[in-house]
Amino acid sequence: MPAIHGMRTMLGPRGWAAFVAVGLALALGVPLLNLATDPASALHVPDYLVPLLGKYACYAILAISLDLVWGYAGILSLGHGAFFALGGYCMGMYLMRQIGARGVYKNAMLPDFMVFLNWKELPWYWHGFDQFAFALLMVMLVPGLLALVVGWFAFRSRVSGVYISIVTQALTFALLLSFFRNDMGFGGNNGLTDFKDILGWNIQARETRVGLYVASVAMLGLTYLLCRYIVASKLGRVLVAVRDAESRVRFLGYSVTGAKLFVFTLSAVLAGLAGALYVPQVGIINPSEFSPGNSIEIAVWVAVGGRGTLVGAAAGAFLVNAAKTYLTGAAPEIWLFFLGALFIVVTLIMPRGIAGLVRWPRIARRRDVPAAAE
């Protein structure tokens, strides 16, 4: 009973609402799949909309992962797009291994782009990706290990502030240049594409797309629950203290390096999972996902939604990407200007983001209650 009470206290009303939402997504996944894929059903969703909403859910997971380190620990990582892309490449490698004899070069045991580039054998780092369990492990392990190594050297050397942003930005740019090379074995500038199926399901089938969408929504809820649990725990309070007064926390005897390293690594793992769910829904992964501009855009999502508010970060990802989808179709030439103006407005006028606008009236009412009582 004390453990249950502790969970209630840590998660709070929003956490339990997310818990219920995840449960409903898992319980209603199959019925919703049947309804959404039946053209005669009133709940039928257009084919193009399902992967689009699933992509937004993946972006929301990515935004929450960045908010965990930026909003609560004060670590502005401008390289989270790299962790997202690495998770996507790991899933793309699995999907490429599933093509087999259905590729252009039907008798080849190698992915089509390797045959085209005259590769003689499968590189050692591609072995094992014919198994989903191994690919899923790599989706978490590769971004996590990279974050662990980078974080170990950076936080141990007390690199913080704008310097950690520069380090992470340089990291994603270096990976961008590396993955563009054909001799890296990841498809060069074309990347990995032309996927056929996942776990035996046709990746273009409506049922598979809805299933991936449900999985993305469920993962979004689980990500929120996990991050909410962390920020409401003692570790979360230490992270906020590190963000606000790192030297004092270090003086009190807490392991600032350990706290930062843990949350940075976990954030990278979550970003990798988001990338893994993203790739089968969009059907391609290429080096452009490593673009430094993508990582900056992720920070804009979090800033717009509200830094230090997990719900706000997810909402910012949905809203900004919905605007991007509309503007890049209706007026593509003004999208970047709109994004820049949005960031300036949020920075100067709404520093707490959209979530702050919702919280201000509530905070004002709480302050007025004692005054009225007096």
Quick one: pLDDT at residue 310?
92
What does each of the 374 residues of the chain score in pLDDT, given as a tens digit?
Answer: 444 444 455 555 555 555 555 555 555 554 555 555 556 555 556 777 888 999 999 999 999 999 999 999 999 999 999 999 999 999 999 999 988 767 666 666 788 888 888 888 899 999 999 999 999 999 999 999 999 999 999 999 988 888 999 999 999 999 999 999 988 999 999 999 989 999 989 998 888 998 899 899 999 999 999 999 999 999 999 999 999 998 899 888 889 999 999 999 999 999 999 999 999 999 999 999 999 999 999 999 999 999 999 999 999 999 999 999 999 888 888 888 888 888 888 888 888 888 877 764 554 454 444 443 33
Non-local (6+) Cβ contacts of 331 within 8 A are none
- CA 66, distance to chain mean position in Å, is 8
The answer to whether 52 and 241 are in contact (CB under 8 A) is no
Quick one: pLDDT at residue 41?
56
Quick one: pLDDT at residue 346?
86
Quick one: pLDDT at residue 319?
93
Length of the chain: 374
| Cα dihedral 49, 226, 264, 65 in deg (nearest 10) | 20
The CA distance from 320 to 315, in Å, is 9
pTM here is 0.86
Quick one: pLDDT at residue 3?
43
Non-local (6+) Cβ contacts of 288 within 8 A are 191, 294
Q: What would the 3-class secondary structure string for 250-262 be?
A: HHCCCCHHHHHHH
The CA distance from 246 to 240, in Å, is 9
